[in-house]
């Protein structure tokens, strides 16, 4: 059983009520519950912390950095330090938004980026992470 890590940046706790026309009506709690159910159904576990991840047996990270995407070298350094593959995820299409949102401190070191599919992106990230862990149909562009 692999352990997957799901991280969410600032303000994502407001999903469902924060600008629903942009981010949709689904709450972060619902998103996390769905992701946990998908991981569990595939025989895996989803947990929630970063530095302890390697010692806890985490093998893949699903990460929505929120506004930290454009500002946090410290989080980038932490991800590089632990050396685990991760998928960067965004609910909105950040490339179709304000120019400052088009720069990410994580995309170039991520196994992949999922952006603009609303909260469904979390489900896509779980599927991609599982494939990256060697599940059938593993895409060649995901590294572990």
Residue positions annotated with a catalytic role: 23, 90
**Structural contact between residues 35 and 63, judged by C-beta atoms closer than 8 angstroms:** no
Closest to 18 in 3D by CA, of 91, 123, 101, 115: 91
**Structural contact between residues 109 and 84, judged by C-beta atoms closer than 8 angstroms:** no
Phi/psi for 62 (5° steps) reads: -110, 120
Q: Which residue has the tokens 């196994």?
A: 111
β-strand 45-47 against 86-90: which pairing, if any? unpaired
**Structural contact between residues 81 and 26, judged by C-beta atoms closer than 8 angstroms:** no
């Amino acid at each position: 059983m692999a352990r997957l890590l799901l991280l969410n940046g600032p303000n994502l706790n407001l999903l469902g009520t924060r600008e629903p026309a942009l981010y949709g009506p689904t709450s972060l709690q619902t998103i996390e519950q769905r992701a946990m159910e998908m991981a569990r159904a595939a025989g895996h576990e989803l947990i929630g912390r970063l530095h302890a991840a390697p010692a806890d047996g985490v093998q893949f990270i699903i990460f929505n950095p929120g506004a930290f995407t454009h500002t946090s070298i410290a989080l980038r350094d932490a991800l590089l330090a632990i050396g685990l593959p991760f998928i960067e995820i965004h609910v909105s299409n950040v490339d179709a938004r304000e120019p400052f949102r088009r720069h990410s401190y994580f995309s170039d070191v991520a196994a992949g980026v999922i952006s603009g599919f609303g909260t469904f992106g979390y489900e896509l990230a779980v599927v991609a992470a599982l494939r990256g862990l060697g599940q059938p149909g593993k895409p060649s562009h995901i590294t572990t």
